Amino acid sequence: MESETHSAGAANHDAKAPRSATAVHRTLQLIQSDDPNSKVQAAKEIRRLTKTSHRCRRHFSSAVKPLVDMLHSDSDEATEASLLALLNLAVKDETNKIDIVNAGALEPIISFLQLESSTLQEYATASILTLSASSVNKPIIGDSGAIPLLVDILRCGSSQAKADAAMTLYNLSTRTNLLTLILDAKPIPPLVNLLKTCKKSSKTAEKVVEVLESGSLQSREHAVGTLLTMCQSDRCKYREPILKEGVIPGLLELTVQGTPKSRCKAQTLLRLLRDSPYPRSELQPDTLENIVCNIICHMEGEDQSGKKAKQMLADMVQVSMERSLRHLQQRALACNPADLPITSCASEVSLK
């Protein structure tokens, strides 16, 4: 069934290829014409063609410069059409992301962040979110003055713009110098308000939990580092909001399965999150179980704190074991038997 589907898809693709090439060529001619109406129609066509096709994004890379020029138009229709076309060109395409910024798109896009038009502000925030996924673009965006404006959107933008602004700030926070700029802009109160007002199933809250509990090792290291920086800067102010987001299970797992840096950061953050950052007495050693027990005691009362701490630690170990098993299974499925050494696969895997 899989082979048949693949063959049918390939045949269909071959049939569409000449028509697609013609459409791309015609659209590229229009976007570089001198007629404003033709340029708008071309921008809309680029947006349509690049919505789901990575190949089309490559074909339209030469349209970046004329589209960026359209961002300076006095026509709202032209501005919106070009912005949406650039947004689609940038999705999952590192080269286009960099080219868009190098072509001078940041200045007009940042100006859109300050507009009263919620629609254009949303498109601009989504565009910067996409562009900020590039490591090359991050320092440029950070130096552009966008960070305070993104924090302003967190305070008073639309719900979609707020969510995109939060994720853009997260992208930028992976660079230490930009994290300092972000914290200086005081984003924590609006971020906390955003998490309080959105439902647990919303994209924003899901993303916070996802990054800390199931993101890549590198992204989880950045996430716990951000939380630790917040707590160290003002423990009294940020401790309660961090605890209320249910970060403890993710932190516990990081103490076992994280990178060396994230293990250290997670342990330090757990110590800061408990009722007292220091052991109460020699009778209560500074163990992970006692730290968790102290946190639960503060949050839910002392009666069940010890039992629940042990259960959380047991659950954390179980989750870690299950993830390790899934990882081993995936590696085993990816193994080519001809590539395996004479020694057993289990022995080889266990050493890695």
Q: How far apart are CA 210 and CA 120, in angstroms?
A: 29
- Does some domain include residue 95? no
Q: Report the mean per-residue pLDDT for the chain.
A: 76
Each residue's pLDDT tens digit, 306-321 = 565 556 665 655 555 5
pTM of the model: 0.59
Residue 334 identity: A
Torsion on CA atoms 47, 126, 92, 19, rounded to nearest 10: -10
289 is a domain residue: yes
Residue 253 resides in a domain: yes
| Residue 124 scores a pLDDT above 80 | yes
Whether 266 is in a domain gets the answer yes
- Say if 336 falls within a structural domain: no
Q: Domain range holding 227? A: 197-322
What single DSSP character describes residue 74? S
Domain count, the chain: 1
- Tell me if residue 46 falls in helix, strand or coil: helix
For 319-344, what is each residue's pLDDT tens digit? 555 555 555 566 556 554 444 343 33
Q: Which is more confident, 96 or 194?
A: 96
Count of Cβ atoms closer than 10 Å to residue 193 Cβ: 14
Task: Report if residue 338 sits inside a domain.
Answer: no
Task: Note whether residue 174 is domain-resident.
Answer: no
The pLDDT value recorded for residue 91 is 93
Instruction: Provide the Cα torsion 169, 171, 174, 178; round to 10°.
Output: -40
- 85 touches 64 (CB < 8 A): no
Dist CA 287 CA 342 (whole Å)? 43
Does residue 297 sit within a domain? yes
